[in-house]
Amino acid sequence: MNRTEAIAKLINPRSIAIVGASAEFHKVNGRPLKHLITKGYKGQILPVNPKYRSIADLPCYPSVDALPVAADLAVVAVPAKDVLPNIEALGRRGVRSVVVFSSGFREMGADGQTMEDALVAKAKSLGMVLCGPNCLGFINAFSNVYATFSQYADGETGPGPIAFVTQSGAFGTAIAALARQRGLGLGYFINTGNEADVSFSELMMAVIEDPRIRVAAGYLEGLSNGRELIELAHRCQVLDKPLVLTKVGRMESGVRAAASHTGALAVTDTVFDAAIRQFGVLRARNEEQMLDMLQALANPRRAVGNGLGIATQSGGAGVMMADRAEEIGLTVPTLSTETQTRLAGVMPAFGAFGNPVDVTGEFVARPELLRDSVVALMDDPNVHVGIVWLQLMHAYVDTLVRIFAEIRDRTNKPLLVCWVAAPSEALQRLRDAEIVVFSAGERAVEAAHALVRCSEFRRRSVSIPRPLDRSSIPDDAKDGLQPTVSAVKWLGDAGIPMAPVMLAKSADEAVKLWQAIGSAVVLKVESPDITHKTDIGGVLLDLNDEVPIRDGFLKLTRTVAEKLPRARLDGVIVQPMVRGELELVMGVKRDPIFGMVVMAGLGGVLVEVLKDVVFRIPPFDTEEAERMLRELRMSALLDGVRGQRGIGRRGVAKMLARLSCWAATAESSLAELDLNPVLVGSTGPIAVDCVMVLKRK
């Protein structure tokens, strides 16, 4: 049984042993048994506890060794110190999937970490997959598997199209309870706890394969393997199932708090955010936005464009929604003449036929007015998702539910109803009719945006370019700062535009190189001990005559001797003087979570203040590089570069894509690369300085 099979068995077991089972059903170790029995689990339930002969008419086994079968899953609910021996026993008994509730591991500090390491080592040696420790366990609501003590299980947990995996037990339980309040059904509820062995991404990867699951939602506090998450995002894309993630630790203090809370390696949020955006994951900023998105995404209808049609009974609410739509990049299109004519035919004179359409309160008297105007709006070719806003109307629930059902049947576009201060009966009846309903206008707009983003990503070519066949960095290159001439050559070989560099060992050589170049040059000190040449005055610009070049060479060698007497000096780099209209920076770094990461940003003093940089996971193609550049706040500057139309933006995107293909093959050796500045002129971008540091893995 491989790991994937073991995880599949874990989430859908035909038999469950509960190690440390209690007959006291309110306790942590009694609750799984209670739920399995009362909610009708069809498989075999095998309580293990020497204190009992039987619990609730089920035979109870005195020890793991006494189990009559090798259960598909074991739930371990014993004190921390007893976990390891039980895991050993389970291994002996042939059990390959366990969930460990017990706390007292990594979250308790160094001693706990040692115990957890031992636990993982044991599980691995036994070929066992382990969820937890320090977790609430999980629910597979389709098969009534309640391997959990979460309070969420106390209420109705009817299955539904959502798979929800959470790193937090308490917050995850709250989110699940809120989902239930909104009538959203969870097919799976999984708390991963310490993730000592099985990770968030692995468990989510398993549950999204279930054909009854339509959408995946996750709550994250940290991440130890970014590549796994990217594979998950890919798989969701292939299966056409949206993935919505909420991750806390967006800000510095949050990251700090998250690190101290989970003990997990804190993820750089900007890299995380860029990576999931690149791979089509929707990020919800908090639990409420996550649930708003899930409401829209759990419905099978998808938007085929980004046009939002809005109908309201309040002009102001329409304006508020139009504001929010514009802010997040939806269009609120002007309606076609045909649509406007249709609307004029059904609406009162004092309504508004634009978009938002203001149907006014008049529809109370003439319900068909609401139906006909919304259907006309939805039929408009530029409208891809519709929102109808209304409020109160406690006396008209029957009529309105009927009308919304009629509208639903007359369009195949997604329709979101926003009913503010609605009668609770109305919400339930609309949900029963599979009509998505929200309680606030901006929430509906943000949910519409999730539908649109989801479809936009689906329409994208997900062609990931091939990385280079092999790294252009030679196998025998040593760790540390690389000689500029070598680094420039390796990058140039990979098709990355680099200003040529040559090394002069003497002033005479420098002059000869200048003569060969035939135009103004730059001189830079070259030393394996000097990373930031400018800081020590190690760069001289725009020299174009023999005397200044000769003087320059001497000045640079003197500067190094004075300021950094211990630095080894290899010579002076001679490079043609390049000018550009715009200054960029590009870089590559090895992220502990996501591996290679490519960065691009705008250079110069203003941008040091703005910190206007964007990230992507390599390799990526030119289209992705263009999207990346559009995320820069100063992106418009790229269009200001003269030369062939658009050469600035397109040329920079091409260079970035090439850099990404190079970076993807360099993971085993590259620690960091800085191209700063990259100058963009009328012939395209070119890197004029390069700092490359290797550190073999």
Residues 246-305 that bind a second copy (CB under 8 A): 248-254, 257-258, 260-262, 285-288
**Best CA proximity match to 200, nearest among 236, 170, 164, 174:** 164
Please, what is the minimum distance in Å from the beta carbon of residue 108 to a second copy? Answer: 6
Q: What are φ and ψ of residue 263, in 5° steps?
A: 75, -5
Q: Among residues 358 and 526, whose Cβ is nearest to a second copy?
A: 358
Residue whose token pair is 């591996």: 595
| Separation between Cα atoms, residue 332 and residue 306, nearest integer Å | 9
Q: Among residues 333 and 467, whose Cβ is nearest to a second copy?
A: 333
| Separation between Cα atoms, residue 291 and residue 314, nearest integer Å | 25
Q: If binding means CB under 8 A, how many residues of this protein chain bind a second copy?
A: 76
What H or E segment, with its residue span, contains residue 671?
A: strand 670-681
Q: Among residues 26 and 459, whose Cβ is nearest to a second copy?
A: 26
Q: Which listed residue (361, 381, 480, 646) binds a second copy by CB under 8 A? A: 361
Q: Among residues 438 and 490, whose Cβ is nearest to a second copy?
A: 438
Q: Among residues 253 and 519, whose Cβ is nearest to a second copy?
A: 253
Q: Which listed residue (119, 135, 320, 688) binds a second copy by CB under 8 A? A: 320
Please, what is the minimum distance in Å from the beta carbon of residue 691 to a second copy? Answer: 24
Q: Which listed residue (59, 124, 606, 668) binds a second copy by CB under 8 A? A: 606
| Separation between Cα atoms, residue 504 and residue 119, nearest integer Å | 59
Please, what is the minimum distance in Å from the beta carbon of residue 499 to a second copy? Answer: 24
- Binding part of the chain for a second copy, among 86-94, 194-202, 307-315, 571-579 by CB under 8 A, reads 307-315
Q: Judge contact between 182 and 289, C-beta under 8 A.
A: no
Q: Among residues 358 and 626, whose Cβ is nearest to a second copy?
A: 358
Q: What is the SS3 assignment for 293?
A: helix
Q: Which of residues 206-235 bind a second copy (CB under 8 A)?
A: 219, 221
Please, what is the minimum distance in Å from the beta carbon of residue 15 to a second copy? Answer: 30
Q: Which listed residue (56, 84, 319, 578) binds a second copy by CB under 8 A? A: 319
Q: Which listed residue (488, 637, 670, 687) binds a second copy by CB under 8 A? A: 637
Q: Among residues 151 and 270, whose Cβ is nearest to a second copy?
A: 151
Please, what is the minimum distance in Å from the beta carbon of residue 160 to a second copy? Answer: 17
Q: Judge contact between 541 and 577, C-beta under 8 A.
A: yes
Q: Judge contact between 27 and 115, C-beta under 8 A.
A: no
Please, what is the minimum distance in Å from the beta carbon of residue 180 to a second copy? Answer: 8
The contacts found for 624-629 with CB under 8 angstroms, 24 or more apart, are 624/278, 624/657, 625/652, 625/653, 625/654, 625/656, 625/657, 625/660, 626/650, 626/653, 628/600, 628/653, 628/656, 629/600, 629/653, 629/656
Q: Among residues 264 and 572, whose Cβ is nearest to a second copy?
A: 264
| Separation between Cα atoms, residue 507 and residue 530, nearest integer Å | 20
**Cross-strand bridge partners of residue 54:** 59
Q: Provide the CB-side half-sphere exposure for 317 (13 A, CA).
A: 23
Q: Among residues 291 and 507, whose Cβ is nearest to a second copy?
A: 291
Please, what is the minimum distance in Å from the beta carbon of residue 156 to a second copy? Answer: 13
Q: How far, rounded to the nearest angstrom, does the alpha carbon of residue 668 sit from its chain's CA centroid?
A: 24
Q: Provide the CB-side half-sphere exposure for 693 (13 A, CA).
A: 13
Q: What are φ and ψ of residue 525, in 5° steps?
A: -65, 145
Please, what is the minimum distance in Å from the beta carbon of residue 31 to a second copy? Answer: 13
Residue whose token pair is 């252009």: 472
Q: Among residues 488 and 602, whose Cβ is nearest to a second copy?
A: 602
By rule CB under 8 A, what string of x and - marks binding of each residue 101-140 to a second copy? Answer: --xx--xx--------------------------------
Cα-based distances in Å from 523 to 513, 562, 603: 11, 18, 21
356 preceded by cis ω (within 30°)?
A: yes
- Binding part of the chain for a second copy, among 4-12, 509-517, 632-640, 680-688 by CB under 8 A, reads 632-640
Q: Which of residues 423-442 bind a second copy (CB under 8 A)?
A: 440-442
Please, what is the minimum distance in Å from the beta carbon of residue 518 to a second copy? Answer: 31
By rule CB under 8 A, what string of x and - marks binding of each residue 61-100 to a second copy? Answer: ----------------------------------------
Q: Among residues 418 and 549, whose Cβ is nearest to a second copy?
A: 418
| Separation between Cα atoms, residue 599 and residue 590, nearest integer Å | 11
Q: Which listed residue (58, 174, 554, 671) binds a second copy by CB under 8 A? A: 174
Burial 647-683 (b: 16+ CB within 10 A, else e): bbbbbbbbbbbbbbbbbbbbeebbbebbbbbbbbbee
Please, what is the minimum distance in Å from the beta carbon of residue 308 to a second copy? Answer: 11
Q: Which listed residue (37, 118, 304, 420) binds a second copy by CB under 8 A? A: 420
Indicate whether 322 belongs to the interface with a second copy (CB under 8 A): yes
Q: Which listed residue (50, 62, 127, 316) binds a second copy by CB under 8 A? A: 316
In sequence order, what are the residues at sequence separation of 6 or more whose Cβ sits closer than 8 angstroms to the Cβ of residue 328?
445, 446, 449
Q: Which listed residue (299, 314, 471, 482) binds a second copy by CB under 8 A? A: 314
Q: Which listed residue (170, 238, 265, 541) binds a second copy by CB under 8 A? A: 170
**Burial class of residue 115, CB neighbours in 10 A (0-12, 13-18, 19+):** buried
